[in-house]
Amino acid sequence: MNILIFGPNGSGKGTLGAKIKEKYPVAHIESGAIFRENIKGGTELGKAAKAYIDRGDLVPDEITIPMILDRLQRDDCKGGWLLDGFPRNKVQAEKLDEALKAKGIKLDYVVEILLDRQVAKNRIMGRRLCANDNNHPNNIFIDAIKPNGDKCRVCGGALSARNDDQDEAAITKRHDIYYNTETGTLASAYYFKDRAAKDGFKYVTLDGSKSVPEVLAQMLSALA
Ligand code: AMP
């Protein structure tokens, strides 16, 4: 099963992706996480991407598109994938569509998480990353997933905030990109929405204002 997932930063995409992976044999490919790993590892790719990420800008397509298309060729993607964070603009959408068609790979689902922009912003500013597992949900502004003091609510690991999550200008920039329906991320989601019937995949929308278990339930019933 091959899935594209769209949602603004703060909509719970990453957490949802990790849960879907527990249920279906898909590789969870997160473009942002690939960049963060490369930055941590001090690779050339990481060095090239860091300044863009810190500002909340998109990493240039010349770097991002080949990185993702290469990633989708790895063995763990043979049984299917859930692609999260890519495409982020219309050019990436066109290139992905082209590359998949050239390889005869079919999309099964395109999922869009609907969430109000202000709600998404509050969620981002409150989220904390667990040192042991990125997908342990911790958010100081959401009662259901409040950390245990300054420790991860799931495993007690050390928590930190992402640099780009505490910078309001960077969040605004990321959301300007996401909510842009002409050239931005929503334009790339709608690119696929327009092709769903013709190309034979389902376009599904989820109500992202609900709790993670509720959004997960919506998604699982859509995939069933
Ligand atoms: P995320 O973890 O999805 O919020 O991504 C963090 C940052 O990585 C974004 O703000 C961008 O700077 C960069 N990034 C992630 N995915 C892409 C993409 N598809 N195209 C360009 N930049 C990206």
Q: Name the residue at shortest CA distance from atom 11 of ligand 1.
A: 58
Q: What is the pLDDT of residues 60-119, one digit of tens each?
A: 999 999 999 999 999 999 999 999 999 999 999 999 999 999 999 999 999 999 999 999
The answer for residues whose C-beta is within 8 angstroms of residue 168's C-beta and 6 or more apart is 125
- Read off the pLDDT of residues 191-207 as tens digits, 9 standing for 90 and up: 999 999 999 999 999 99
**pLDDT at residue 158, rounded to an integer:** 97
Q: Are 106 and 201 in contact (CB under 8 A)?
A: yes
Q: What is the pTM of this model?
A: 0.87
- What is the Å distance from ligand 1's center to 84 Cα? 10
Could you tell me if the CB of 88 is within 6 A of ligand 1? yes
- CB of residue 56 inside a 6 A radius of ligand 1: yes
32 Cβ inside 6 Å of ligand 1: yes
Q: What spacing in Å lies between the alpha carbon of 161 and ligand 1's midpoint? A: 16
Give residue 185's pLDDT: 97
Catalytic residues: 13, 88, 127, 162, 174
CA 109 centroid distance within chain? 15
Average pLDDT over residues 8-24: 89
Q: pLDDT (tens digit, 9 = 90+) per residue, 117-165? A: 999 998 899 999 999 998 898 999 888 899 999 999 999 999 999 887 8
Question: Which residues, other chains included, contact 48 with Cβ-Cβ below 8 Å and sequence gap of 6+?
Answer: 59, 63
Average pLDDT over residues 29-44: 94
CA dist 84 to 7, 32, 112, 122, 140, Å?
A: 9, 8, 11, 21, 24
- Where exactly are the structural domains of the chain? 2-115+175-223
| Cβ of residue 85 lying under 6 Å from some atom of ligand 1 | yes
Could you confirm whether domain 2-115+175-223 is CATH 3.40.50.720?
Answer: no
